[in-house]
Amino acid sequence: MQAFQEVVNSSVNTDMNPETADPIYAGGFEHSMNSHESQRGMNSRVYSNEFVKCQYTPLLYASNYFSTLSSVRDEKTKEQIRMENENLLKQYYSSKKPISHATYRQGSITSCVDSNVSTIGSVSGASAGTSYGKAAQTWLNKLLDNGNDLADSFDFQLPINVTGGSDKEEVERRQMMESAPVKSYYSHFQKLLTTDIRDAELLRRHNMWMPTVRKEFRPLVLNQDLNTDSLYDSKICSLFLEGSKYIPRDYDTYGGCTIFPSFFSEYKLPSFCYHCGVEMNGQIFIIGGLVACHKYNEEAPSLNDFEVDGVKNLPPPLLPKIINNPSMINNSRLYVIATASSRISRPVISGTIPPPLLCTKGSKLTERHIFYYGGFEIKTETTYDGTGTFKLKKRAFVNNTAYILDTMTFKFSKVELTALPYKFVTYPTLAARFGHMQVSVMAKNWCSRHNQKSLDCCTNDSSTLNNERSSAETSSNIGGSPLAENTSSHSNNNHSQGVYTIIIFAGYRQTGDDKYEAMNDMWKIEVPIVARGKRGYYKFGGTATASIIMKSADSDPWPSSRAFFAYGLEDSEILNKSNLHASLLKNLEDNFRIEVISQQGQPKSKPIFPNIPHSRRDVSSARRPFSAKDNYSSSALSSKQASFRSVSTSSFAMQPALTKRSSNAEKVIVIHGGSNKKKVCGDMWWFNVETETWSDVTTFGKSKESGIAPIEVDLVGHSMVNVGHICVCLGGLSQADVNELYEDASCQRDASREKSISNDFLKIFDLTTQCLQGHDFHGNMSGVQNPSNPFSTSLVMSFGCTVLHVNGLIILVGGLVAERSNIKNIYMRGAILECVLPSANLAS
């Protein structure tokens, strides 16, 4: 520690070379701030220097991963690793450059130039910014990869007699290594050592990471005997830990199950929060968010030497104690999780790399590309006062740029968004936002009514002449803008070539320093195609257009301003309240009909195999659909003189006609909850993509007195997954949680609050009946009681995670959790959680 202080003190020397001097240290903090104040001009943003002695502590893990190859550890002790993590954290913040206050978002520390390698940390036209970015990334890599607990693969030995400390994590590590399922993995790994492998990295890819759960959380999330101290005594398979059944038994006999899966990787998966995850072809791509600077609880650094002037007025579910915590650092890496093979990789990224954004949204643009938009970046300015204290000034900058990721080459490209004029607005502005909705819709037949609501119109004509004529008319309507003409033609071209349309709605915008305003505007984004190649390759233009979606009339319903709500995409036909019998009759009526065919003559002989041609003139009989005529005898045919045959022709043998649903089903966007600052919503809305109209949907719950009663489940920061006509909402904060976490109010806990519907980890709605499943009107009665407090149910509060529906599984990555008995004590979810839902009810 003394050596590190000498290094820092030497860097404060003002006699150093001015080209290499750190502007944070040279001249002092006041001089640095005054120089920035003089450069602000008219668009100045006033900041107050409210540095507070650090009251933050590193967050602890509720669940985490241990490496099975960590038996032979380095000579470094946990205390040495903790001190080294603290030094690396200080070096990381020392490399942060002063914040530019000229604009809200003027370049990123991470990237504003195109690069061919993953050298993150360049600012266009500023060599000082480039050096700062590279330095920050260098210390970030050292910090996140510090204390590498992977043993030398070639010198690996079985942990027959594992020795270690007496701390909790080390005890759990020893129990894991001595368990029966892990020994079977060691036998497998020893066979790999017999092969001729010259690269140790190949062996590291076979490293298996086993999940573990903090002891106080085990009764809440695991099916384990409370009298058992070890997680691995009863295990026979090392691929997962069995979780508890979150789905109430009242809803289904088989309540589903949850597991904490193991995975293979040479890297440890960090604990994310407020990140972005997108599923593409069975893989999950994770960018942005915050990650913990320590891998394990016992390696957490001390934060006593930090003073923080943090971001203020953060809306739910953004917690200031998380956003402003010095131990939570920006994630500038891309992680890929292959769910089928249980493998995690960290590919090398290139191109115009986006900054480490929080609360950004990503959605599918093509089957190969992902479209990212929104979010905000936390920029930190560091000042060292010479007494060993590091002053951190954190500010939020909302991102107004879109990025496209090629999932095959891992190359990013930057896209600027331009808002098209609409009624009474010639120069509209698409506000930068976070906490918004972003969905992808393949709108081949989506003809918007913008010709009635705005000056931009999307056409559906199949004729090229009509498309060109329509784009020319649109161009003349907006004053002959060539950009609008090209956009219209590209819009039709996108739909015909498999490019999705992006719809965004609501979110927060930044109106000033630490001031945020909720919105309820809706936009449609079209990305133009420049070139197209093989294997799904597309080259997109550098500018995309955004057209607003407006009300047809002022009396039309429209959701209120909100952000951080749950949303999902459904087929409108699934939501129709029709029974199976009616749907089958409707399908037969639409696709089949009875045709009576007269019999002209008796065949001379009946072939044994009627579908095989016996003569040249009977060739078509082989391709004719097998009909009832071939099964009837000649006497039956002569008596009836008729037969029944399907309408299907030889080209479409026994295939029903394509319906609108099979070609391009109408889509409905379902949203629920959200909040406008600290006011939490509990309503549900449906948006019909075809008609571009909103509908306010009333949700119901069961009541013992009246049977069915309208209810509202107030939640913010939760996620939604749609399985058939079933809507599953996971996690989130209720109004009572927001009051306790943000108002610092000590709410009185009673039995009615503990049994609140909003407290459940899973909330299941049947969209056909609009009814909440597995509950009564008074709340959930299936909670597990805590013996120490009879009113406290053992439920878990969860938020800030990414929830994805992949191959029938609901996968939760990262996030923050807390016990309902003490929601102010926040933990990190370091292990992946998979939920297997009851297929009988959810798929019906």
pLDDT for 232-246, tens place per residue? 555 545 454 554 444
Give the residue, 505 or 589, on which the prediction is more confident: 505
Q: Is the pLDDT of residue 432 over 70?
A: yes
Q: Which of 328-342, 472-486, 692-706, 787-801 has the lowest mean pLDDT?
A: 472-486
Give the pLDDT confidence of 366-413 residue by residue, as tens digits.
999 999 999 999 999 998 877 888 999 999 999 999 999 999 999 999
What DSSP letter does each residue of 6-21 carry, written as one string?
HHHHHHT-TTS-TTTS
Pairing of β 335-338 and β 283-287: antiparallel
Identify the pLDDT of residue 169: 62
Residue 826 — very low, low, confident or very high, per pLDDT cuts 50/70/90? very high
> Please, are residues 125 and 414 in contact by the beta-carbon 8 Å criterion?
no
Residue 74 in domain: yes
In angstroms, the CA 316 to CA 435 distance is: 10
Residue 64 in domain: yes
Residue 198 — very low, low, confident or very high, per pLDDT cuts 50/70/90? low
Give the residue, 666 or 324, on which the prediction is more confident: 324
> Two tokens at 683?
């309503």
- Taking residues 782-794, what's their average pLDDT? 41
Residue 186 — very low, low, confident or very high, per pLDDT cuts 50/70/90? confident
Give the pLDDT confidence of 327-356 residue by residue, as tens digits.
999 999 999 999 989 999 999 999 999 999
In angstroms, the CA 596 to CA 634 distance is: 17
In angstroms, the CA 528 to CA 546 distance is: 11
pLDDT mean across residues, the chain: 71
Identify the pLDDT of residue 444: 54
Q: Pick from 174-188, 346-360, 603-617 the range whose average pLDDT is largest.
A: 346-360
Residue 190 — very low, low, confident or very high, per pLDDT cuts 50/70/90? confident
Give the pLDDT confidence of 295-337 residue by residue, as tens digits.
888 889 999 999 999 999 999 999 999 999 999 999 999 999 9
Give the pLDDT confidence of 117-148 residue by residue, as tens digits.
443 333 333 344 444 556 667 766 776 776 55
Q: Is the bond into 790 cis (omega within 30 degrees of 0)?
A: no
Residue 758 in domain: no
Residue 59 — very low, low, confident or very high, per pLDDT cuts 50/70/90? very high
Q: Which of 149-153, 470-474, 579-583 has the lowest mean pLDDT?
A: 470-474
In angstroms, the CA 121 to CA 142 distance is: 15
- Taking residues 748-754, what's their average pLDDT? 49
Neighbouring-strand partners of residue 778: none
Number of domains in the chain: 1
Give the pLDDT confidence of 516-542 residue by residue, as tens digits.
999 999 999 999 999 998 988 999 999
Cα pseudo-dihedral 655, 660, 664, 666, rounded to 10: -140
Could you tell me what percent of the chain has a pLDDT over 70? 56
pTM: 0.74
Residue 284 in domain: yes
**C-beta atoms surrounding 37 within 10 Å:** 12
Residue 545 in domain: no
**C-beta atoms surrounding 543 within 10 Å:** 15
Identify the pLDDT of residue 549: 94
Residue 359 in domain: yes
- Taking residues 691-701, what's their average pLDDT? 91
153: which DSSP letter?
G
Burial (CB count <10 Å: 0-12, 13-18, 19+), residue 348: exposed
Q: Which of 4-18, 283-297, 797-811 has the lowest mean pLDDT?
A: 4-18
Residue 455 in domain: no
**Shortest CA distance to 778 belongs to which of 748, 749, 747, 754?**
754
Residue 574 — very low, low, confident or very high, per pLDDT cuts 50/70/90? low
Query: What is the extent of the structural domain holding 12?
Result: 2-150+265-412
In angstroms, the CA 44 to CA 24 distance is: 21
In angstroms, the CA 352 to CA 365 distance is: 18
Give the residue, 184 or 16, on which the prediction is more confident: 184
Residue 612 — very low, low, confident or very high, per pLDDT cuts 50/70/90? low
> Two tokens at 199?
């690269």
Q: Is the pLDDT of residue 37 over 70?
A: no
Identify the pLDDT of residue 250: 43
- Taking residues 244-270, what's their average pLDDT? 67
Identify the pLDDT of residue 357: 96
Identify the pLDDT of residue 802: 94
Q: Which residues contact 435 (CB under 8 A, 6 or more apart)?
A: 315, 359, 506, 507, 508, 563, 564
Residue 756 — very low, low, confident or very high, per pLDDT cuts 50/70/90? low
Residue 36 in domain: yes
Burial (CB count <10 Å: 0-12, 13-18, 19+), residue 731: buried
Give the residue, 644 or 371, on which the prediction is more confident: 371
Give the residue, 508 or 722, on which the prediction is more confident: 508
771: which DSSP letter?
E
Helix (H, G, I), strand (E, B) or coil at 757: helix
